[in-house]
Amino acid sequence: MKTFAKPPEFIHDSSTRPGRIHFGPLNCWTNDPAGLVYCDGLYHMFFQVNPGGTSWGNIHWGHTVSRDLVNWQMRPLAITPHPELGLAFTGSVVVDSENSSGLFPERRDGFVAFLTTASPVPGQDRYTQTQSIAYSRDRGETWQWHSDNPVIPDQSARDFRDPKVFRDEERSRWCAVISRGQSVSFYASVNLLEWWHLSTSDLPAVPDVCECPDLIRMDYRGGYVWVLFYSVSHDSRGLGSGVRYQLGSFDGVRFVPDVPRKQGERVFDVGFDHYALQSWYGLPDSDGPVTISWANNSAYAHDLPAVYRGVNGMMTVPRLLELAETETGLTLVQRPAIVLDEAADTRMPALDCGSGCLQFLPTDSGPFYVMLRGGSEQVSYLQIEISCYNGFYLDIHLDFNAGEISARRTAPKLDTPEMDSRHLMPSPARPVECLVLMDRGIVELFLNGGTAAATYQIFDEGTPVELKVKSPGAPGTIEVTACRVEQPKRSIKKEV
């Protein structure tokens, strides 16, 4: 049986950014979450990491744990490249509580990782991409390769990767969804070791390749709705990359969307920096799904100067998902899965929407939040400007009459492209509500109770950040609540 070499101790408790609410280890490259699992009160997050540098390559699995989704404790490197099959690409982790794999004869909490192992094909522009198994008998601290890897061989395709495993309780078996070019393929297994192909589904509006699929079953009105997530590496609107989703049904063999294919593209996050979404396995159904994503964009991720915040790659805040009927139909609603305590807020004077402009300069770049609430249903327009002393500028416009959000970002001193986007909001609700959540190097917006969200990196290079809020052209007032985000003392779930 092959085992991992002793992993280098490159990360430790003090290697994450202190006092921040967005996870990101220091002095290394980080990308996709690659295995999220909840077990006995701990949120485990595995993730893609290059322990030897701040650019992509030499991909391993890192490991971190938390009780509140804010304060993370780094663990030793989890999975190192396979000696024959190659790098440890993205995948997922499940708890084999019934020992269906036979790998845990004396335990009921064995972790099984199902991941892509990849190595370059000589003379070709692709990797061999096989799906392999690794397992842990000590809740992710140490790992072993399964002796008969790969469990799914290479398909001679340019893109075949990122398996997400989930439990199909109705049929007492495991299922996996794997990206395959512009489509996703479904597989099934009874023991996590032997897999057979079920079906393949094409996806709408994927100009190049989809990655990091996830399929989640959500309770809704006494039944279930299945949500299929996938990331596109090149956005159909020319914006680089992002996460899309479809609502539909899953019969154990294939996923059927609830709308025709040509209408099926739904944008999960309309910002520039949201990719590779994955949900936590093992959460109680009553808690609802919780997801996290890589806060970056493949169009320029490799060109970002790591020195501007001591890290190249971080995650969004975890998000709690719900389903709700809106003016545009059934929609995913998302909100931060962390504690935001308005009891400790600092209320600012009301902003006159006809002429006023709120402006303040935090002592550092976060974390803090600003809640903007319309005091009148006539409030129709908000402008949020974020700027730094190094010339960085992010200009966000929320037009509630048109139901539209647009954004423009420039960073003239950095080698990053100017970004410009325009999206429809799923539900232009009234009165206006916008939560602005800011941290070092990132801002996330949640509009109208989470019916729309947007994530943007801030290239502050450690300089102070200035935030302006304007609401011209309409009578009424905007109530502004500003509060520093305190480190939570409890989990968002029940105490453990």
Residue 321 counted as domain residue: no
The string of pLDDT tens digits covering residues 332-389 is 999 999 877 665 556 666 666 655 666 666 555 568 888 888 766 667 888 999 998 8
Least confident of 43-47, 317-321, 415-419: 415-419
* pLDDT score at 425: 78
What is the sign, positive or negative, of the torsion defined by CA atoms of 228, 494, 319, 78? Answer: negative
CATH number of the domain encompassing residue 451? 2.60.120.560
Give yes or no for a contact between 113 and 91, defined as CB atoms under 8 angstroms apart: yes
Mean pLDDT of the chain: 84
Residue 1 counted as domain residue: no
Q: Interior CA angle at 38 toward 233 and 447, to 5°?
A: 55
Residue 320 counted as domain residue: no
Higher-confidence residue of 217 and 304: namely 217
* pLDDT score at 449: 87
Residue 396 sits in the same domain as residue 441: yes
Least confident of 45-59, 237-251, 336-350, 425-439: 336-350
Residue 356 counted as domain residue: yes
Residue 319 counted as domain residue: no
* pLDDT score at 342: 61
- Known active-site residue 214: no
Higher-confidence residue of 151 and 237: namely 151
Residue 257 sits in the same domain as residue 347: no
Residue 165 sits in the same domain as residue 299: yes
Residue 64 sits in the same domain as residue 178: yes
The string of pLDDT tens digits covering residues 434-478 is 999 988 889 999 998 899 999 999 988 777 788 888 887 666 677
- The residue range of the domain holding 293 is 13-303
Last residue of a domain, one of 277, 303, 329: 303
Band of residue 14 on the pLDDT scale cut at 50, 70, 90? very low
Assigned token pair, 124: 């070709």
* pLDDT score at 2: 38
- At 172, the amino acid letter reads S
Last residue of a domain, one of 303, 323, 355: 303
Whether 172 shows a pLDDT value over 60: the answer reads: yes
The string of pLDDT tens digits covering residues 287-321 is 889 999 999 988 888 777 654 555 688 999 999 99
Give yes or no for a contact between 477 and 350, defined as CB atoms under 8 angstroms apart: yes
Give yes or no for a contact between 91 and 79, defined as CB atoms under 8 angstroms apart: no
Residue 183 sits in the same domain as residue 275: yes
Residue 244 sits in the same domain as residue 367: no
Residue 312 counted as domain residue: no
- At 317, the amino acid letter reads V
Residue 287 sits in the same domain as residue 432: no
Instruction: State the Cα–Cα distance between residues 315 and 280, nearest whole angstrom.
Output: 14
The residues with which 333 forms a beta bridge, in sequence order, are: 322
Residue 389 sits in the same domain as residue 284: no
Residue 5 counted as domain residue: no
CATH number of the domain encompassing residue 232? 2.115.10.20
Catalytic residue among 13, 32, 208, 415: 32
Least confident of 144-148, 159-163, 335-339: 335-339
Residue 157 sits in the same domain as residue 268: yes
Last residue of a domain, one of 245, 277, 303: 303
Write out the E strands in 137-194: 144-145, 161-168, 173-180, 183-189
In this prediction, residues 387-394 reach a mean pLDDT of 89
Percentage of residues in the chain having pLDDT higher than 70: 82
Residue 472 counted as domain residue: yes
Band of residue 152 on the pLDDT scale cut at 50, 70, 90? very high
Residue 354 sits in the same domain as residue 242: no
In this prediction, residues 392-398 reach a mean pLDDT of 94
* pLDDT score at 494: 32
Instruction: State the Cα–Cα distance between residues 293 and 332, nearest whole angstrom.
Output: 16
Residue 410 sits in the same domain as residue 286: no
Residue 268 sits in the same domain as residue 390: no
The string of pLDDT tens digits covering residues 95-104 is 999 999 999 9
In this prediction, residues 228-249 reach a mean pLDDT of 79
User: Into how many domains does the chain fold?
Assistant: 2
Band of residue 21 on the pLDDT scale cut at 50, 70, 90? confident
Q: Give the three-state DSSP class for 338.
A: coil
Instruction: State the Cα–Cα distance between residues 80 and 83, nearest whole angstrom.
Output: 9
